[in-house]
Structure 1
Amino acid sequence: MGGRHYLVALMLAAAAEQAMAQLSTADHGGFALKPRLAFSMRAVPAEPRQRPARIYAIDLSPIPAEPAAMRMAVERRRQLYAGVRAMRSEGLGAPARNGTDIAPRTSLTMIDARFDLPLGRLAADDRLSATLGWQGAKISNRSANATSQLTRDNLRAKDWFLPVAQMRFGVMPRLALSADYREAMWAYGDSGAIGAMGLDREGFRTLRNALRPERDRRARLGLDWAAGPGVAVRVAAYAARIEDRMGFARGSYAPLNLGSADVRGLDAAVTHSLSPALRWTARYAQAAVRADAGEQAMERKLALSGEWRAGPWRCAMGIARTSAPALGQEAGAGTRFEAGMDYDAGGPRIGLRLTDPDRLSASRLGEAMPTGPARAAEQARAVMLTAAFSL
């Protein structure tokens, strides 16, 4: 019996020594024989949801449209893309929990107001007319960068008053003179289409503080002449100011400003309709660009294009020879080729296009490009297959 008690005492002493060996350090001030077990319950993250794009538009126009026609359109486009939910951590070693929706997106709000004034009633000449109005735009890029998901470091640009004015006077039945003035704005608008940028926090804030929307002011005088049956000639001269020209680095979606400049240009085009189904156009444009940094350059473009229509088919093809852009990173002249084909039989519409746009200031200022977002894809070569169906 005594031996049995002695054996039990030895076993208790060994267990005590083993427990003493498992003591934690003095900083914890406690004892533990086994690691502490903790139980917690977490909600399963919601699956990303695809939300369709929404367009809100209001178009106001009086009926009847005489003696003065007024048109005012308010349009809001908001593109939403499937995203994920941020997993925010409360500290080192703490479990993460669901945060806010961080899907990158670009929102565009547009206002376009025009007033068509028949000035011929005031000047006793029906050949005189004018258009007055303004445009407004707000472009917002939410979660534009991976490091701005949980902050308000977004890219925004807005201008609610961009005036537009045009006057036209018919000198003869086949000759008309025109004068117009416009202001326009373009801002970065690729968030959501390509995802968030991959910059660190300091790099993105440097970009955000330095990036400016592109603005231009242009005054232009034009002449339209119907030279003969099926032949139309248009010549325009303009003076413009470009501020903070927006572009994209070669092979990159990162936006950058290329500088500001004063531009003086000439744009001429001849269109000849060989038949109701076939016509061709020749265009020449040049512009003298004087940058604020002191550089001066001449931009030139010579283009030849043709178009053919027959029933539901429409085909177009063009080739252009251009100089290097005065504001940009490309060097040397280049040859660009564009083509397109559409089939529209009243039901499905199918199109195939090859685009190769240039980056000349003369091209943008010579055309009626509306205010809106600037995207990298619009400045790159692309092959696009489109299909539209009416439901």
Structure 2
Amino acid sequence: MPDVEYEPVSVKAVLSEMKDTAELLIDLSYSAVLSGSDELAEEVLALEERMDVLQLQARMSVLMAARSPEDAEQLAPVLGVVGAAEKIADAAGDIAKIVLEDIGLPEAMRAAIPEATEALVRTTVAADSEYVGRTLGEINMETERGVRVIAVRRASETGKRAWITNPDKETEIRAGDVLLLRGLDEGLAAVYEAATGEAYDPPEHTASPIEDLERAVDSIVTMKDTSELAVDLAYGSVLFDSEADAEEVVELEAEVDALKSRLEAWTLRAAGRVDDPIELRGLVHLAAATEVISDAALEISEGVLRGLDAHPVVAAAVEESDEVIVRLTVAEDAEIAGHTLGDLELGTETGGRVIAVRRPGEETEWVVSPDADTRLSAGDVLVAKGTRAGTERLSAMAGDPREFDA
């Protein structure tokens, strides 16, 4: 574990990096479990170690800035946000250890993942790859292959790992870069071969001896998507001082609790139908870690719920992170109303993407991780993620510019 000493750092920059790292950790850790990938799990532990350094730097800088009782009162919520991000990282590390320490997972989980669910793959760019020296905008793999680079890890001049979270169209690919790719198997195969010069070898699908394993996997995928959405909305509530966003986090946290109970019940029932119940032990660990993540999201938005003003440095850090989160309502005359996400190609048009849709009605109905066939209607509440310019454009297309008045 590296030594950490005080050094003058920007609290805003550290908080911004912590936000992006926390979001990446959730995605990586669940993907490691669903794919049974030791490589992805090891990346999680490396990022968790980086988060430990960031949280110490943030705490020291906040303590140095507090010179009066008034300063302490304003800066206390900052420590709350730091602590919540650290909890997310620790929970993600616990999820990764389910894989690395063979705590117990059904081998057939990969085969039970719904076909429409995207996979996450880690790949290293070869020196003779056609991608070397080109930007992601020039490669345009998201439009052509349906594959998105969610992060890039490259060795710095000092030999340390440096992460680019949420790379954009200006990010240039270099030989030796480790790319984390998200997409469906067909697109991933093409991108993987172009990056490495080798054929993509997807995980083998093992037939499941466990009855109804698909239900457990569906719960895990939903827990992942819901906890990610809760964290995104929590940071959005801080950025825009939005009580509506914070209240959505409360609802999502309750939904994760219900999913946790459902997965635990399924695991207990299944334990009586398998030869070795120990192989299901990791599912219990996974459920517990997910609850920690959703609780941390609630902690991030707690100040907004209690009517406390967020310290300007927190909102500025969220705004200047790689991506911002907005919550929009589709107006009656919006240009996106009545169209599917596939028709709209919002990623190309705006640089932003819709990560969830809440349908109006008596019962709250979330469509988490909507696909190309998801049709948008007037009254839908969209949660979108992207650059500030991209989300502003999407806001205009939805006919709801209110979120940017803050």
With structure 1 as the length reference, what TM-score do the two structures score?
A: 0.22
Task: Please identify which structure carries the higher helix content.
Answer: 2
Task: Please identify which structure carries the higher strand content.
Answer: 1
Larger-gyration structure (1/2): 1
**More relative contact order, 1 or 2 (CA 8 Å, 6+ apart):** 2
